[in-house]
Amino acid sequence: MQLRRLLTRTSLILLSLLTCYQATATTDLLVEKKRFELDAFTTFGGKTIKQLQVGWESYGKLNNAKDNVILITHYFSASSHAAGKYTPNDTTPGYWDAIIGPGKAIDTNKYFVLSVDTLANLNAFDPNVITTGPASINPDTGKAYGLTFPVVTIRDFVNVQKALLANLGITKLHAVIGASMGSMQALDWATAYPDWVPRMISVIGSGQSDAWTTALLEQWAIPIRLDKNWANGDYYDGERPLQGLTAALMFITQDALTPAFFNTTGESMQYSAMEEGPLNDINKSHSIVTWLHDRAENRSKLMDANHLLYLVRASQLYMAGHSDNLREALAQVKAKTLFLPSSNDLLLMPYLAKDSSDTLQALGNNTHYQELSGNLGHLNGVLGISQSAKQISSFLQE
Amino acid sequence: MQLRRLLTRTSLILLSLLTCYQATATTDLLVEKKRFELDAFTTFGGKTIKQLQVGWESYGKLNNAKDNVILITHYFSASSHAAGKYTPNDTTPGYWDAIIGPGKAIDTNKYFVLSVDTLANLNAFDPNVITTGPASINPDTGKAYGLTFPVVTIRDFVNVQKALLANLGITKLHAVIGASMGSMQALDWATAYPDWVPRMISVIGSGQSDAWTTALLEQWAIPIRLDKNWANGDYYDGERPLQGLTAALMFITQDALTPAFFNTTGESMQYSAMEEGPLNDINKSHSIVTWLHDRAENRSKLMDANHLLYLVRASQLYMAGHSDNLREALAQVKAKTLFLPSSNDLLLMPYLAKDSSDTLQALGNNTHYQELSGNLGHLNGVLGISQSAKQISSFLQE
């Protein structure tokens, strides 16, 4: 059957991707999380956050001219841990370790590569993440903010990064590069601070959250708000809304992958539509659902449900330039740009990057567009990024 | 911009589709809901349902030979109201009124067209629907079944239909035709009772629920189970879980449509990523989300949340033939088959129909495959069905 052939091919591709990933992950770039603090920060919406702090990491060395800086902006469920390991025994390196490191596409022998935890970072309870968000203590009350934390935007993530760079004496980037929600920050950087950004790479990205994307993102927020433990976001003294958060993570996982990936996974677990458990009991689930649930539940432990709501909102409010006119904002861009969407992305479909790239081209920008392949959908931009290593490397050198 | 051109084209296509729909809807085929009862019914899972009743409708006349019967099997959120109006003033005709009626593709001057409400029909509180499911009174206890209602399958819907046909003295169909969950029933009919089915049309359908589809369907069940009013399905004496049900309907609506449709809708409501409400208040939503929510909330009033869970389960348990081997089941099919998936369907993607069609072709079946176009995704198979009118008409005459 054609489907079976497709699945077999998918398995091979996945295997080769994962092998690649393991192979490149063996170079041990040891990294540490650093802390950046601001006494006060004014959000795009005009609210003040006191005693703001975020974590950051860097790979490579800042040169004397301070002109070799590449900023990596992270995706929705990630942190500033883009590359390297915290200890030699660390089993999982940073998410883009395949392209960031000595001699790699983003060569830390040349560049000072830097990444910053966003505000309201999803992994609020991960000891390797430092963030300020609804789960943080409000210094005015001594209690967790909950929903009294102001709405934050992609622009706020950009402005915190800019404050950190300024604090390091940096006045210009060599490039900004990000995947997914990181791509939103990268393109917003290029529109808001064009003199800072000579090169911008958007991976699995978009120029704005259109009506479709905003509604899709809302699907991640809905189960959290339905969880009885959520309590309008004021749950920090009680039970956390982990069922709602687990559901949101299940949705995110599926949105970021593809039928080909799920069906290969199902095949390996001998998944069958006619499983006995769910046939005989409405409260039992098919094995693929249990697999998704258990992985999500495990991941939820270090994450905060309110933080997820705030990241959904930041992503929904995204239009590069944060104005009401994307074309005018893109007209501000001075950077050479590279868009790398994934052909079979079901979350941020390629038309989103294509639209921005086409507009930039019409505006006379030096823009490049190339679709990633592989059967991981949106995650081709994370787990399959090594396929673009040469293109990224060349783009950065020009 | 390319996107804007695409959206404008989409609006035109939508407009022409809707115009078509209105135009064909003006022929007033008046119909009435009838009731079919069974004292006892044994489910595929081996449980007994007492005093089962379902509603049914028919269009056209049964001939003396009783060999002009076309069975229409309905989709997830529909009922047996496939065509016609209940009263001359009825504003909305049955969902496939564009192709069922006097002189139409499924010509009621020739055929006796019949459709039956499924068990656990979603529209449990619609006065025009008759169904038996979790919201029904269990004759043994005098209380609503809730989750004590047995799991039901696509095969059970088929077997109830077969019992009704037998009761009418019918021993063979001219054709069985269904969209989406209706396609599951149609193809299961052709595998389970091949001597009954000389022609089968699967619209926006599949041969089985693979791991991807099962996980996607589970997304519709999750918000209901999270709603505090759901109470493990035992809510019939208290508040109904309408928030969870509304969320499920929002997900279903989005899964059944496309970015092009949403973005056209967003455009018409002057949707903007940077709306003031959601920028200033985490509890306010973008206009596209409010639009989706309000429509879903309104629809939820006549629907039952447990029924939705049971329809999700029936769809998850679907493999044509209800065995563990799809190919063997398809080898039983004697029908000439026609598959009409939708090119841009994000819910039941075309590969699902293609796989069954390819397998049938390899088995020597007289099978036909044609993708529906339009910008409505899955709903091209409902609102856009008139594009296939000629093909369906020819297929039925051969």
Cα gap A76→A55, rounded to integer Å: 16
Cα gap A311→B163, rounded to integer Å: 53
Token pair 């976001």: residue: A233
Q: Which helix (H) or strand (E) holds B248?
A: helix B242-255
Please report the sign of the dihedral spanned by the C-alpha atoms of residue A20, residue A26, residue A27, residue A30.
Answer: positive
Which entry of B74, B307, B322, B378 is annotated as an active-site residue? B378
Determine, for residues A247 and B223 on separate chains, whether the beta-carbon distance falls below 8 Å: yes
The Cα of B79 is separated from the nearest Cα of chain A by a number of Å equal to 23
How open is the CA angle B253-A259-B215, to the nearest 5 degrees?
60
Nearest chain A residue to B4, by CA: A355
- Joined tokens for residue A234: 């004021």
Beta bridge partners of A143: A138
Token pair 């941020």: residue: A348
Tens of pLDDT along A312-332? 999 999 999 999 899 999 999
Please report the residues numbered 133 through 172 in chain A whose beta carbons come closer than 8 angstroms to any beta carbon of chain B. Answer: 147, 149, 151, 153
B286 labelled catalytic: no
- As a whole number, mean pLDDT of residues B177-192 equals 98
Question: Domain spans of chain A?
Answer: 2-397
For residue B284, what are the contacts with CB-CB under 8 A and spacing of at least 6? B277, B278
Chain B residues within 8 A of A9 when measuring between CB atoms:
none
- Tell me which amino acid residue B299 is: R
Tens of pLDDT along B28-51? 799 999 999 999 999 999 999 999
Taking every pair of Cα atoms in chain B, the longest distance, rounded to a whole number of angstroms, is: 69
A vs B: CB pairs below 8 A: 201
Beta bridge partners of A53: A37
Q: What is the dotted CATH code of the domain comprising B2-397?
A: 3.40.50.1820
Of B45, B147, B262, Cβ closest to residue A212? B262
Determine, for residues B317 and A278 on separate chains, whether the beta-carbon distance falls below 8 Å: yes
Q: Which helix (H) or strand (E) holds B48?
A: strand B48-59
Average pLDDT for chain B: 93
Determine, for residues A288 and B211 on separate chains, whether the beta-carbon distance falls below 8 Å: yes
Nearest chain A residue to B242, by CA: A226
B126 labelled catalytic: no
- Joined tokens for residue B65: 């030979």
Determine, for residues A1 and B258 on separate chains, whether the beta-carbon distance falls below 8 Å: no
Say if strands B48-59 and A48-59 run parallel, antiparallel, or are unpaired.
unpaired
DSSP of B155-209, one letter per residue? HHHHHHHHHHHHHTT----SEEEEETHHHHHHHHHHHH-GGG-SEEEEES--SB-
What percentage of chain B exceeds 70 in pLDDT? Answer: 93
Cα gap A346→A343, rounded to integer Å: 9
Residues of A annotated as catalytic are 180, 345, 378
B378 labelled catalytic: yes
- As a whole number, mean pLDDT of residues A139-157 equals 98
The Cα of B354 is separated from the nearest Cα of chain A by a number of Å equal to 9
Cα gap B192→B320, rounded to integer Å: 8
Q: How far, CA to CA in Å, does B256 sit from each of A215, B303, B317, B348, B378?
A: 13, 18, 20, 9, 5
Nearest chain A residue to B307, by CA: A282
Token pair 């529209």: residue: B123
Determine, for residues B274 and A317 on separate chains, whether the beta-carbon distance falls below 8 Å: yes
Confidence bin at B269 (pLDDT 50/70/90): confident
Confidence bin at A93 (pLDDT 50/70/90): very high
Chain B residues within 8 A of A324 when measuring between CB atoms:
272, 274
Tens of pLDDT along A167-208? 999 999 999 999 999 999 999 999 999 999 999 999 999 999
SS3 B147: helix
Conformational region of residue B158, where left means phi above 0, alpha means psi within -120 to 50, and beta covers everything else: alpha
What ipTM did this prediction achieve?
Answer: 0.93
Instruction: Answer whether B295's CB lies under 8 Å from B256's CB.
Output: no
Say if strands A143-144 and A175-179 run parallel, antiparallel, or are unpaired.
unpaired
Of the candidates B80, B89, B90, B25, the one whose C-alpha atom is nearest the C-alpha of residue B56 is B80
Tens of pLDDT along B332-390? 999 999 999 999 999 999 999 999 999 999 999 999 999 999 999 999 999 999 999 99
Taking every pair of Cα atoms in chain A, the longest distance, rounded to a whole number of angstroms, is: 69
